[in-house]
Amino acid sequence: MFQQILKQVDQQHQQKVTSILNDKKETMDYMTSWFHEIKTPISVSRLIIENEKKNPVLNSIEEEVDTIEGYVEQALYFVRADDFNQDYFIVPVDLGVVIRSIIKQNAKIFIRKKIKLKLEVESTEVLTDQKWLAYILAQILSNALKYTSPQGEVKISTEEDDIERRLIIEDNGIGIDQADIQRVFDKGFTGMNGRSHGNSTGMGLYLAKRLANKLGHSITITSEKNLFTVVTIHFPKLHDYYAIT
């Protein structure tokens, strides 16, 4: 009788787990579909803006469209992170090519804020997934531009030693309070800077760190309040990428 009761409880538990997993899959499928569908009106909005370039009001609207698209991308990558193992391809990737594409995407912000770019990136190959790495770099560069004052400077460089290759993104912006530095990669954490700027979700660095770890990389950050912030992505030279889980 005791065994029958345990078997019945186990069956009920398995049914509940299966039901929860099915509900989650259905929700994720819907969200992924919605993310892709919302890109259509965003693209149409961009075409309208492009055709009316002479209207100065549309410049501000274009910036808001960029912001919307950024949040959509962030949410999409957050959903995809759980199924990361089904959607990555590790190959040699030239860091210079990837970082230049991300800089090009943010060219308008560099120009609008008159931020100087100091690029010292050698042609350096690392083993990674180019799509996921591009997203990580986009999040880090976006933060650097957001918290750097007009006419400031962003420096991007590479270096290596016998153990690893490193990509370094440094800005001379508002920096990070030492009380916040240990928590900047926590999910949803905005800190003093997020509160003062009012448009931070606390998800950018969290996702960047999470995805970097899945790729076998790591991210470190150092900062001094009102002086600088340095974010470094570490690419180990010796790593079994096929062991990633």
Per-residue pLDDT tens for 59-68?
778 778 888 8
pLDDT tens readout for residues 188-224: 777 777 666 656 777 888 989 999 998 999 999 999 9
Give the number of C-alpha atoms closer than 13 A to the C-alpha of residue 18, restricted to the C-beta side: 6
- Tell me the per-residue pLDDT of 90-111, one tens digit each, with 9 for 90 and over: 899 999 999 999 999 899 899 9
How far is residue 89's CA from residue 159's CA, in Å, rounded to a whole number?
A: 24
How confident is the prediction for the chain on average, in pLDDT?
Answer: 84
What tens digit of pLDDT does each residue of 140-189 get? Answer: 999 999 999 999 999 999 999 889 999 999 999 999 988 888 888 988 77
Residue 131: closest CA among 79, 203, 67, 77: 77
Close Cβ partners of 67 (under 8 Å, ≥ 6 residues apart): 199
- Judge whether 168 and 231 are in contact, CB under 8 Å: yes
The whole-number average pLDDT for the span 1-12 is 85
Higher pLDDT, 171 or 2: 171
- In 3D space, the residue among 99, 136, 124, 157 whose CA is nearest the CA of residue 213 turns out to be 136
Q: Which residue has the higher pLDDT, 42 or 201?
A: 42
DSSP symbols for the chain = -HHHHHHHHHHHHHHHHHHHHHHHHHHHHHHHHHHHHHHHHHHHHHHHHHHTTT-THHHHHHHHHHHHHHHHHHHHHHHHGGGGGGS---EEEEHHHHHHHHHHHTHHHHHHTT-EEEEE----EEEE-HHHHHHHHHHHHHHHHHTSPTT-EEEEEEEE-SSEEEEEEEE-SS---TTTTTTTTSTT--HHHHHHHS---S-HHHHHHHHHHHHT-EEEEEEETTTEEEEEEEEESS--GGG--
Which residues, in sequence order, are bridge partners of residue 228? 224
Per the CB < 8 A criterion, the answer to whether 226 and 114 are in contact is no
Confidence of residue 75 (pLDDT cuts 50, 70, 90): confident
The pTM of the full predicted model, rounded to 2 decimals, is: 0.76
Say how many CA atoms lie within 13 Å of 216 toward its Cβ.
22
